[in-house]
Structure 1
């Protein structure tokens, strides 16, 4: 059973939890962010019986409100039209955080985006062997570079680069081309992990669509955000129709209205379009984003064209007169009911949520379909109120949902006042009423125990600060308070309780294994079985000498190692024949004596003896491995380990099969623990070998044994 976590901190925003696809749980706590990563089964076994719930996790807590002058220059008071409300003078506490889809960070993991109250959006990832979480990019810098040539007014330039809200899009995966389908090729990054699209809203009533990329250099990952499209709002539209439009107050509200929340809908590859729902002021709006994926195939440059390569405008097909009667507060969540060919959009309003049922045709922007859009209002009433519901008091607290990538047609909703409900959606249009969330029972039990321990007489309250989900496990962040007195609390008394339960309300038994996260099925290292993964890697390495696309061939040392590992542990006759051809070519080009290796290609599960000292210094000596300790040759008897004549034992890389003789040049599979060469930590004296390893690990970026992600 997975017990609740009690952490010595206090949430700083109404949606303080974020759970990555890799299983890392991030918690926003004022000036800090705490990241919890589940321990693997091997790590739990090493530590013995677990006494505390926190012992099931690796915990990293880091400060996010410290900026250098270059990262965040001093901002002086601006003119009246551009005067801010003081965000630059705030403590820069965390007001939002979200994980990117997998594939963006090093080892194809997720990047953490942290939004602070000084209107800066920063990207964080663990750096170095110790895995210290470090700020690796500030998205506002990309906006400054884009708008600086266009805007001369300094105050307006500041407003255009100040971010108010953001949202990651699920990855845009480009279908493999015929060239990629070649038997000698491996599907590209865009087909396996997809493009990472980020939408941000600034202070100038604009929504900017960015493509975030990782430009990987040796020991220096670098991120860049390229502007794809810019959409702006109609300045004449009113967000507050109840106010006299010609009044000074209405003009002030119109100029200061901001986009408070946004979220992406599903991709439709039929027209490469996607909708972004946003709450601007008090109105719900939907933007249509159209993009041709072929324009994103240029992935080698530092930046893209200065002109937008995508289009975005408001989707008027989703406009409904009924929306004018509601004041939207956010957040928003899409639910795709594929069987019914429609979607549901849930949006927070004052005292409840609104559900919009939208047909696919309206979502795609095909004509006026407002008559087909169904609106349902779900108000939140106080459970303890007496009398009819129409007279009962309503909850006015912020609303929060789990992550939008939920696989079930169930909407989970929680409010800051502790109200928790679920709403099921049926493809047959059956109207299912809202129910009390089953996972709320854990929170009620904690509140009752808190009330009993402090003798509050049933007046204790529980506040829910965030919901998130991963693999059908729901995590909630809850704080407990007295309900009838003014609460006095010092920083040392700050507590937030993280509970874990299934969607049915049962206490979660085990967390998703983050370290062995499910690989992408389109990954070249992610077929069905370990054998097929290793065979795919061997086939690619041995076929690289026939590459006719202008790419440099792999290092001869890697080709020789792949051929020897084929002799030792491969039963595939096609791959064995490829290994024979590679050995013949290497012998011809280098003059090395490879007759023993070539002769053993006719048998399976053979061994290759270590080369004598004469051959280690003769023609083709760069092909052979030698012990760094005693300078003797290494024998080939296994693809898992290597040993020299003096008995020095080394582990072989799970991809290249080269012996790893430097302990600092390794990386490990987070799932099975298989050891691999770390291309970023290799000796730079052999540039050809380092370049070849970098090329291979760019393609085979997950474990060839189990498909898990790598870690330092």
Structure 2
């Protein structure tokens, strides 16, 4: 793929192919640290970003890395987990583990699911906020067709979870484990005051709340009885735990409410009955801070209704203790709208102040259409919405409109960082629809004023241009329907494997002459030979890059959806809104909220600002870092070579004795690292930092400074997370 926007001093984005069979939409998600997870029918692919310490301007000249290294983790999600996986949750809070006869699969009140489930395919996946996983990372929650959510996280290292990429250590994904789960026979404890009877639930949807504090996060899930449960999730990890250890987890149910909506359910035999429900029906707004508490609005989708319920939590609770969570008794707001299956809500990541009111905005995808909304946080009365029929509010049938779009559901919607200098009535968004063919041009839509690409004059991200080229490709009808013509790779030559490239070469060397074989036939009658399904779209943590997961099919012949027959690709593109991003879109404000990994990604690929402490051109230290190194200056002068006992002198980022023995230097304290196994490696800048326990052994008089000021998870140079 050609470099994109080289003049903007960023690295090119390369698409890649997957041998997979997508089975659900919204199946591509970015973590807060720029890790990419892609869900298929029975497995999940995990990709970790590859960072460089070279400025993008230098990397473009021949040493540019791929945005993701070649090593990816692929793990199956079809396994039915034993309830014993949750026993540590009960042991931690000294509750009795409930005993019952467990049958794999099955739960809830559905006719099929209550009896058992043989299919455990992937339904939805979502990353948690940063801080729940080991080394302050995120964990991945995966919802399967059996009605269970399994939490996957990085286990403790065995010392072999790093490998060399271009001469520097890189993080692998080998030690990932299933930590705990919920749904079906996987039960979690109830917090004090929320006790109820344990049941085998069938979970239909879930959503992580945005980060609330450094202690944990909230998880909401809905079941097939129209109940929504709120879980408090907290964790503690020992940096020196045995290999495979998933940490200590405190998971409790802290709230539950019924979310039926105001519209009564109709009998399936009723002429006005239409199916509803969504695996993506829950979504959290940003948190509004009020004194020592925070409030978020949880949106849920029911029968032709979107409800908004406020959730308030205290910010003063202790870590690994039950938080104080209040669920309002009724919806603060609600919207009656005609909804089809898989409707969803997306929130804008900003709370506006309009007069004396705090307002949050978002988009409802029906899912064939988009409807903007705004909800106030300061509603004083919680009377809810009175029960009524859909005929009274006019939502029994969808509004008339373009039939082509109403039959093409939205499979991905991204709300872009808002402009702080120019407010709009509707949030800035981009969306994709499931089917992309030459007959519909609405599969990609945006309300952004996108400037044309200076290279080819196209508008929109690179992946949209690629998909458009694929679906617009044509061949003469007499050639398109040849049984020996494989059109599935046309328009995507960079995704071909070695065998396919050899086939193309043999075809070029053959004596086949199309003019001779089709002489006298009509070659002006052209047909389109490709169609594309877009399963999902996601934006990077800073919003500077978007990615789409698509599969390509032959439009002139039947095909089979198998691992050998479907060609799936993950496509990337930079979001170029033109002008000064840092001023127009609030890009700088967004960057302040991001982790070092996310800011590094935006610097490399999204046009974000450079990161302090990453390369030799940007090595400024803040006052806190300089003061911390001053505390260890005296200890450093006493350090001697571990081979010849000669004094050590600093040489750049290393230390060396007069005999030439060279040692790496701790990025946090400037102390030489005199033996292997005493340090941890940063996954971003590659710097090494001494472990807390080894620093205390070297300088016991500075124990308080080590425990209070030095992190066991974050690099002292750039703030990136350690590999091991």
State how far apart, in whole Å, the 1-side matches of 2:210 and 2:187 are: 22
**Could you state the TM-score of these two structures normalised by the residue count of structure 1?**
0.66
2:289 counterpart of 1:269: yes
Change in 2 beyond 3 A, CA 1:365/1:133: farther
Q: Report the CA distance between 1:633 and its aligned residue.
A: 5.4
What TM-score do the two structures reach when normalised by structure 2?
0.65
2:252 aligned residue: 227
Measure how far apart 1:325 and its partner are: 4.5
Matched, 1:349 2:363: no
Superposed CA deviations along residues 280-328 of structure 1, whole A, max 9, x for unmatched, are: 355322211011211x3x11x4xx34xx7211136534134xx154456
Q: How many pairs were matched up?
A: 567
Q: Distance in 1 between matches of 2:647 and 2:115?
A: 63
Matched with 2:136 is: 108
Q: 2:149 aligns with which of 117, 121, 142?
A: 121
C-alpha distance in 2 between matches for 1:462 and 1:18: 20
Task: Say whether the 8 Å CA contact 2:629–2:670 is kept in structure 1.
Answer: no
Going from structure 1 to structure 2, the CA distance change for 1:215 and 1:51 (only over 3 Å counts) comes to closer
Give, in whole Å, the separation in 2 of the partners of 1:640 and 1:139: 44
Q: Which residue of 2 aligns with 1:422?
A: 445
1:145 is matched with 189
Alignment of 1:711 onto 2:723? yes
Q: Which region of structure 1 is more displaced relative to structure 2, 53-62 or 689-698?
A: 689-698
**Alignment partner, residue 412 of structure 1:** 430
**1:166 maps to what in 2?**
206
CA separation of 1:669 and 1:338: change in aligned 2, threshold 3 A: same
Query: Alignment partner of 2:228: what SS?
Result: strand
Residue 211 of structure 1 is matched in structure 2 by 232
Q: Does 1:98 align with 2:126?
A: yes
- After superposition, the C-alpha distances for 1:73-127 in whole angstroms (9 at most, x for unaligned) are 9426989957652695334332211122223323332222222222222222344
Q: CA deviation at 1:63?
A: 2.8
Partner of 2:551: 479
SS at match of 1:329: coil
After TM superposition, list the pairs within 5 Å mapping 1:30-109 onto structure 2.
30-41=41-52, 58-66=71-79, 69=82, 70-71=84-85, 74-75=102-103, 84-85=112-113, 89-109=117-137
Asked if 1 retains the 8 angstrom alpha-carbon contact of 2:410 and 2:432, the reply is yes
Quickly say closer, same or farther: Cα 1:420–1:230, change in 2 above 3 A.
same
In 2, Cα distance between equivalents of 1:488 and 1:280:
35
- Measured at CA, do residues 472 and 78 of structure 1 come closer, stay the same or move farther in structure 2, by a change above 3 Å? closer
Residues 235 and 694 from structure 1, CA distance in 2 versus in 1: closer, same or farther, beyond 3 angstroms?
same
Deviates more, 1:699-708 or 1:2-11: 699-708
Q: Identify the match of residue 23 of structure 2 among 12, 17, 32.
A: 12
Measure, in 2, the Cα distance between the counterparts of 1:68 and 1:441: 43
Quote how far apart the aligned CAs of 1:394 are: 4.4
Q: How has the CA–CA distance of structure 1 residues 526 and 693 changed in structure 2, closer, same or farther, with 3 Å as cutoff? A: farther
**Change in CA separation of 1:629 and 1:30 when aligned onto 2, cut-off 3 Å:** farther
Q: Is 1:287 the equivalent of 2:342?
A: no
CA contact (8 A) 1:38 1:515 kept: no
1:139-196 Cα deviation digits (max 9, x unpaired): 328843228998786xx5112xx432221222124xxxxxxxxxxxxxxxx3xxx742
Write the distance in 1 (CA, Å) between the matches of 2:340 and 2:676: 60
Residue ranges of structure 2 left out of the alignment (5+ in a row): 4-12, 87-100, 162-171, 386-392, 420-426, 437-441, 450-458, 488-525, 579-590, 602-610
CA RMSD of aligned residues (A): 4.9
Question: Any conservation in 1 of the 2:51–2:67 contact (CA below 8 Å)?
Answer: no
Please show how residues 480-559 of structure 1 align to structure 2 within 5 Å. 480-483=552-555, 485-504=557-576, 516-518=597-599, 530-533=619-622, 535-537=623-625, 539=627
Cα displacement (A) at 1:46: 10
Contact 2:29 2:36 in 1 (8 A): yes
CA apart distance, 1:516: 4.4
- The 8 Å contact of residues 18 and 26 in structure 1, kept in 2 or not, is answered as yes
Whole-Å separation in 1 of the counterparts to 2:250 and 2:33:
23
Alignment of 1:609-688 (within 5 A): 625=639, 627-629=641-643, 632=645, 634-635=647-648, 637=650, 640-644=653-657, 647-679=660-692
Partner in structure 2 of residue 316 of structure 1 = 331
Q: 2:14: which partner in 1?
A: 3
On the 8 A contact 1:107/1:709 being kept in 2, the answer is yes
Whole-Å separation in 2 of the counterparts to 1:58 and 1:18: 18
* 1:659 aligned counterpart, secondary structure: coil
Closer/same/farther in 2, CA of residues 503 and 337 from structure 1, 3 Å limit: farther
Q: Secondary structure at the match of 1:146?
A: coil
Shift in Å, 1:210: 2.6
SS at match of 2:288: coil
Question: Using a 3 Å threshold, how does the CA distance of structure 1 residues 364 and 519 change in structure 2: closer, same or farther?
Answer: farther
Match of 2:465 in 1: 441
2:681/2:723 contact within 8 Å kept: yes
**Higher helix residue share:** 1
- Check whether the contact 1:519–1:709 (CA below 8 A) recurs between aligned residues: no
For 2:265, the equivalent position in structure 1 comes to: 240
**Partners of 2:337 and 2:18 in 1: how far apart?**
42
CA deviation map 1:24-69 (0-9, x unaligned): 1111122221122232235999999589968765433233334554
Three-state SS of the structure 2 residue aligned to 1:40 is: coil
Conservation of the 8 A alpha-carbon contact between 1:263 and 1:277: yes
Q: How far apart are residue 333 of structure 1 and its match?
A: 0.5
Q: State the alpha-carbon separation in 2 of the partners of residues 172 and 78 from structure 1.
A: 33
Residue 475 of structure 1 and its aligned partner are, at CA, apart by 0.4
Looking at structure 1, the residues matched to 147 and 312 of structure 2 have their Cα atoms a distance apart, in angstroms, of: 27
Query: 1:665–1:396: structure 2 CA closer, same or farther, 3 Å change rule?
Result: farther
1:403/1:468 contact within 8 Å kept: yes
Question: More displaced, 329-338 or 397-406?
Answer: 397-406
Residue 265 (structure 1) shift: 0.9
Verify the 8 A CA contact 2:297 2:310 in the aligned structure 1. yes
The structure having more radius of gyration, on CA atoms, is 1
Q: Which residue of 2 aligns with 1:460?
A: 530
Distance 1:309 1:87, change over 3 A: farther
